[in-house]
Amino acid sequence: MGSSKTIMDLFQPAAKRFKLSSPHCCASDNTPNSEPLLQVVSRKLPLSSKSSGSSSATTTSLTAEQQSRIEFNRYVAKSKRNLKACSQKVSKAKEEGSGYVKLEELLAEETWLEVLHGELQKPYAKRLCEFVEKEIKDSGVDIFPPQHLIFNALNTTPFDRVKAVIIGQDPYHGPGQAMGLSFSVPEGVKIPSSLANIFKEIHQDVGCRLPSHGNLEKWAVQ
């Protein structure tokens, strides 16, 4: 019988090599210094400049960690723009009195729009959209997650950056919990037991410290 695998064995694509970042790799806080769980270290993109007529060349280069940080921050900013676009659409709909935004208008990430082009126009998707619209507009019950977060997972992680897909049984149903990412809850909300167990497993596998909150948006970005 082969040896048991850890969570890190699931993140080994053939084209790239990964290594653990700092001991704080599991931190999912939203501070600029939080480290990604996995970090690409095989790529180097040196930048050099040479003055014309000069015999000496000045070369500047970024470390792999700096390159990874720049790329990470760029995708964080992109996910925030997508979220803002969805929030604005929902706010506008409420101001106009309808309070509802069609599902296809809540998918803002262009890579997913390209991959799923025409999918939401198919009969099964139209039936689903009609059902969701009726529930939101006429049922009188709370729907989780909120409208602007329905496609939060897709709007946060571009299609070409997907490494793993985690599907929860159903959204958290407590007030203020569900945010469109499996097992994730906003900062300030008590960490659910299911997420606490995930944190413990990761801590046992890779030895990094446990996050202080349950917001997994940064994990989705990386």
pLDDT in tens, 50-75: 444 444 443 368 898 999 899 999 99
Distance of alpha carbon 70 from alpha carbon 74, whole angstroms: 6
Q: If you classify domain 7-42+60-221 with CATH, what class do you get? A: alpha beta
- pTM here is 0.69
**What is the distance between the alpha carbons of residues 199 and 154, in angstroms, rounded to a whole number?**
23
- Given a contact cutoff of 8 angstroms between Cβ atoms, the answer to whether 47 and 60 are in contact is yes
Which tens digits make up the pLDDT trace of 9-41? Answer: 655 554 444 444 444 445 445 444 444 444 433
Is residue 170 annotated as part of the catalytic site, yes or no? Answer: yes
H/E segment holding residue 58: strand 58-60
Query: Which token pair is 114?
Result: 């390209």
What is the radius of gyration, based on Cα positions, of the chain?
21
Q: How far apart are CA 217 and CA 30, in angstroms?
A: 8
Selecting among 9, 138, 142, 170, the annotated active-site residue is 170
More confident residue, 171 or 53: 171
Q: For 176, left (φ over 0), alpha (ψ -120 to 50), or beta? A: left
**What does the pLDDT read at residue 54?**
46
Q: Cα angle vertex 168, ends 165, 170, to 5°?
A: 145
Q: How many Å separate Cα 125 from the centre of its chain?
A: 24
